[in-house]
Structure formats: structure tokens, C-alpha cells
Structure 1
Amino acid sequence: MLRFALVLSSVLLVCRSAVCPCERPELCQQIREEADFEVFVFDVGGKTWKSYNWSMVTTVATFGKYDAELMCYAHSKGARVVLKGDIPLHYIVDEHNRTAWITEKVNLAKSQFMDGINLDIEQAVDKDSTEYYALTDLVTETTEAFHREIPGSQVSFDVAWSPNCIDKRCYDYVTIAESCDLLFVMSYDEQSQIMGDCIADANAPLSQTLNGYDQFLGLKIDPKKLVMGVPWYGYDYPCLNFSQEGVCSVKEVPFRGAPCSDAAGTQKQYKWIMKQVNSSMSGRLWDDKQKAPYFNYKDQKGQIHQVWYDDPQSICPKAEAVKSKGLRGIGMWNGNILDYSDEPVARQQTMLMWNALLGC
């Protein structure tokens, strides 16, 4: 039985090393060069990646089905392609489970000619719990294994917009940042815990967003470990009440200790938003306090909705802050949700969103 297992293992290793899906074998070599400025793209599947601005992209985190064509093309442009990594934390409290999971991911990355892994573990964790320490160990051990087995590989870890136990994610941010190559800061869903009035508000208000980075930097985390994530989507909130001042009261949907949350709304892609705003009752409006666009519309039943989103005007000052604070780079959730059709207005809107990542 042991002999069979060793033979099978050898066959698998041969297969992994033999089957390069790219037209040119050198495109299966992992990317080792580190970009001076990171543009980190989450891709959720399909073929819209063919329309990305590849002059900017440095890393693609694949959250959809494995696409060998994407890997080959990204490598031809000098961009990394990394796996998604997620695991229930209670499972990896056991050291042996943790090691097995890491080994599995390293082998998968090798077999798919990938360049690292993005750890997207957004689970609630209590400070100093067993899960708290297991998560820190997971990041450290994953980084060590990937760097050892795939030289030059990248290990990133996704964090909320602030390190202050947002969504009860009380992690050891300092040690995690030291352990991995970069933190992708999800500067969106900032209404996931609404402690005040249950009203519709900006997904990523500017001052709150930038305050989050000041908090990370206040922990003495190296700014070159931080990538700013911006939203290419918005929230559509059905209004329970719509005041004369244009305030939209929303349904109470609790989330991790907060009485209200953005779960009262529905996430909408930028391409939907750009079409809907044109037929809205208000047209595009601008909130100067939150530095964010929004609009109001009525659905077929006559109910008023308020939609908050980000566009080049709201993204540009964030991108400028990336430069002024000396951060590692910028990225978005997610690359697929712009309108990549040949329609002239859509092409212009899409180009402006990509360009906004580099500032104004």
C-alpha cells in the first residue's frame, strides 16, 4: 500500500511538472519580480479579464473557477495570479489540520502554476481565543511554506477597513502584517455595523476610510504592507421612510453585535448603477460630507430606493492618499463588474474607473 502511494505521488508530481497549459512553456514559470506599486485585482470568474487594463495589473486573486488561460495571459504581462484561501478557524486550531491544509494549497498552487495565495478569512474572532492564535499561526506558516516551496511567491491577507475589531474580527494585525507579504484592506462595506440611526449611507466614506489607515499605521504596521481596496459596486437600499431632507431609513438587519447593517440593502455592480442612475428620479447626487455619490429611484411598486456607490470622483482622493501615505498599492472588489462592452459611453466609464486607481 505504501509502495502504491509513493508511486502515485511520483506520477502526480510528473503530471504537475509536465502539463503546462500555456502556448509557451516559460509562461508557466511563477512570477518572482515584486512590483514597485501594487494593483491588486479580485477576479470572480468568466472572461471579462480579457478587457482589464493589463498595463496596470500586478496581481490577480482568482475567486472563480481556475482558468489556465488567465494564468498564462497574466504571466505574459508579468502579473501574478494567486489562489483564494479560506478555512473554518475552528478546524485549523489543530496543528495537524493546519499543516495539511497549507500543504494542500501549496501543491495546488504548484500544479496550477500559481504565484501565491490570498487568505480571505473574514470570520469573527475573540482576542486571545484559541482561534486568535491559530489564525496568526496559519498566516505565518502559510507564508513560510509558500516562500520555501515557490520562491518569490506572494501571500496576502484580507482585513476590514479598520483594525478596531470591525465585524468582531479581533485579529493580531501587527504579527499578521509582519508575517505575510501584504494586507489587502477592504475599505468598503463600512456600514456593516451601523450603531447609530438605521439609514442609508456611503459604502466607503472618505474620512472614515482614511481614518482606518491612520489606525493601521498607528500600530506601526509598515505602510508598504498595506494595499487599499476600493469598491467597484454600491448598495441599493429600499427606503422604509424617505424624509424631506432625502434621508432614507432602512430595515433593521443586525450583524455581529450591531442593530443595523448594510445587509438591509443589496449589492449592485457599477455597470448596473451607471444605467440605473440615468433613469432615476434624482439623477446623480453628491454628499459633500462623505465625499460619495448617490441617487434615488422608484421601483415598479412605487417604493423609493437610495443607491450609494463609488465612482472616479470618490475614488481619486483615496488613490491620492495611497501615494501620500506611502502605501504598497491599490486594488478593487472586483475587476469583473464594470461594463466592458464596446458601447462608447460604457468604454469611457470603464476607462475612467481604471484610471482613477492611480489618482487624479
Structure 2
Amino acid sequence: MDKGLPSEPAEDKQRPRTKNVPLKSIVDAKQRSDWIAEKVTLAKSQYMDGINLDIEQPVLPDTPEYYALTDLVKETAEAFHREIPGSQVTFDVAWSPKCVDIRCYNYSAIAESSDFLFVMSYDEQSQIWTECIAAANAPFNQTIAAYEQFLSLGIDPKKLVMGVPWYGYDYVCLQLTEDNKCTLEKRPFQGAPCSDAVGTQVGYNTIMKQVNGSLSKRLWDDRQEAPYYNYKDIRGNTHQVWYDDPQSIALKAAYIKKLGLRGIGMWNGDLLDYSEDPVAQQQSRDMWKALIP
């Protein structure tokens, strides 16, 4: 979810988080080797079982950074597997390998070197090339088509884990039409004229507290196969919130078996309501169940 860069040994907020490293620095083989050695030492000292690389920087094909990133993953995997037997080295990738956000990585080589890729099937409106209107965070057809793109690169489906969002986006509408089209302020990102950066990320726990009291209640978009709702804030501004719930997630999870993927995960587990409220408890159970195809 971060529009940031490498690299974190775990998503658990209680564990140490490593410092971001500009890709230009790892073009130098010595700096790359030192960085890897530092991470191996950290993992050993914290009794970790591997490292997850979350690198979301723009990289163009056939540049020094393109080759350095591929080498970084290969050398990190070799070092961890050698120094910590049984460890895993995983790599987070954008929802599509088609140079999303100018992340033109060597996905097939990175998949080959790592234990698996965690495909971040969310933030799919980071570059809006068509109308500047609110849309689903992870529209079904677009999400599934992207896995076919990864597989067409020759990547083993068992090297792919589907990541689904337990959060959505809250957009302020410049105009909301009768057919629920929410026009957005233009906010360019990586060459695209509009972006989800104009919205605010909101967790599923917050969404569940708001949706039933909203203007529209829960609505469903048949084309994107995703839920959304409209509400007004205290200033009178109209908002549209797009999110994923058990219905939309279950549709995607069903494709794990169909495509032979390794599994499914979410970003992130803290975004459910784990209070003693019985309604919240049921909502949380339903979200966890939706991950089982």
C-alpha cells in the first residue's frame, strides 16, 4: 500500500522495520552486498524466517536500476537461503506487470529468484487514464486479467499469491450524477491525468461503521463487481466510497484454484473490528471466511 520502497522483514507493526533504500544505491554491487548482509544479520538477531521486499519505485526497462533490482532479489534470496535454511524471500508486485506506475521490472526473473510474488491486487486506480471518476479499488475483471498477464510471462502460478484489500477509498465528488457517477478532482500521477491519490484510504472497520448510515446504504456495481456507497460530510460535500467486502473478495478468491495460484493474503489484518461487539465479530468472521475459496 505504501507508495514507498524497499523493504520490510514483516508487516507486523511490532517488529523492526528496515529503512528505505534508493534503488540508485544498489546499482553498486558493494552497496547491494552490504545491504543484504545487514538484513541477514537483522533477521538472525530477531529470529525471523525471511524477508519481504516491497519496492515500489519507478524503474524503466534496460536501465542500471532495472538490472540492479533483479540482482538484488537474486542475491538476497541466495544469502537468506544459505544463512537461514528454510527461510523465505518474497517480493511485492503491483497488480499488473504492465509497467503500472512505471514499475517496469523483470517480473519473470524476480519470480524465478524469489520464493513467491505477493501480487498487490489493489490501488488499481493509481493511474486513471480514462474519465476522472471514482471506481473500484480492485475491479474484478481487471484484477483477474492481470493474473493472466503474469502467467503469460511464464511465471509459475505457484509463485503467485493473490493480495486483496481490506480497505477502500473515500472520494469527494465534484459532482454526483443520478446514475452514481462521481466526478473527481484531477490529481496526476506517473503520467496519468487522474489518480486515487485524490481519495483517502479507509479501513474496512471504519467503512462498516459508516455504510448503514450513509445516504445510499450499500450499493453494488455489476460491471466492476464491487460495493460502494455515497454519503455527505458535515460541510455538505458528497463522498463516494469504494471498497471490498466478503462478496467481492470471494469472487476473486475463487480464482485461486481455477488459476492454480499459491494462495491468498490481505492488506492488512489490522483493518477489521476485533471488538466484542457481536455485529463486528460477525463481519470480521465473514471477511476471513471470504479468503477460503
User: What is the TM-score of this pair, normalised by structure 1?
Assistant: 0.78
8 Å CA contact 1:85–1:119 kept in 2: the answer is: no
- Matched residues in 1 for 2:141 and 2:94: separation? 16
2:248 corresponds in structure 1 to 314
Query: After superposition, where does 1:32-181 map in structure 2 within 5 Å?
Result: 61-66=10-15, 86-181=20-115
1:243: how far off? Answer: 1.1
Q: Does 1:282 align with 2:216?
A: yes
Max Rg structure: 1
8 Å CA contact 1:84–1:118 kept in 2: the answer is: no
1:293: how far off? Answer: 0.2
Q: Does 1:189 align with 2:138?
A: no
Identity of aligned residues (%): 66
Superposition CA RMSD, Å: 1.4
2:205 corresponds in structure 1 to 271
Relative distance call for 1:232 and 1:262 in structure 2 (3 A) is same
1:84: how far off? Answer: 6.1
What residue ranges of structure 2 are gaps of 5+ in the alignment?
1-8
- Matched residues in 1 for 2:67 and 2:12: separation? 26
The one-character-per-residue Cα deviations of 1:129-169 (angstroms, maximum 9, x if unpaired) are: 00000000000000000000000100000000110000000
Q: Does 1:245 align with 2:179?
A: yes
8 Å CA contact 1:116–1:153 kept in 2: the answer is: yes
Secondary structure of the structure 2 residue equivalent to 1:348: helix
User: What is the TM-score of this pair, normalised by structure 2?
Assistant: 0.95
2:3 corresponds in structure 1 to none
8 Å CA contact 1:238–1:265 kept in 2: the answer is: yes
Query: After superposition, where does 1:297-336 map in structure 2 within 5 Å?
Result: 297-336=231-270
Amino acid at match of 1:179: S
1:245: how far off? Answer: 1.4
8 Å CA contact 1:84–1:119 kept in 2: the answer is: no
Match of 1:259 among 193, 215, 219: 193
Amino acid at match of 1:197: E
The one-character-per-residue Cα deviations of 1:228-262 (angstroms, maximum 9, x if unpaired) are: 00000000000011112110001111111101000
Amino acid at match of 1:281: L
Match of 1:351 among 282, 285, 288: 285
Which has the larger displacement, 333-342 or 83-92?
83-92
1:126: how far off? Answer: 0.6
2:4 corresponds in structure 1 to none
Relative distance call for 1:326 and 1:86 in structure 2 (3 A) is farther
Relative distance call for 1:85 and 1:217 in structure 2 (3 A) is farther
Secondary structure of the structure 2 residue equivalent to 1:118: strand
- Matched residues in 2 for 1:61 and 1:243: separation? 43
The one-character-per-residue Cα deviations of 1:278-336 (angstroms, maximum 9, x if unpaired) are: 11000000001000000000000111100000000000011110111110100011111
Secondary structure of the structure 2 residue equivalent to 1:127: coil
- Matched residues in 2 for 1:310 and 1:241: separation? 23
Secondary structure of the structure 1 residue equivalent to 2:223: coil
- Matched residues in 1 for 2:116 and 2:57: separation? 19
Relative distance call for 1:85 and 1:319 in structure 2 (3 A) is farther
Q: Does 1:213 align with 2:150?
A: no
- Give the number of aligned pairs: 286
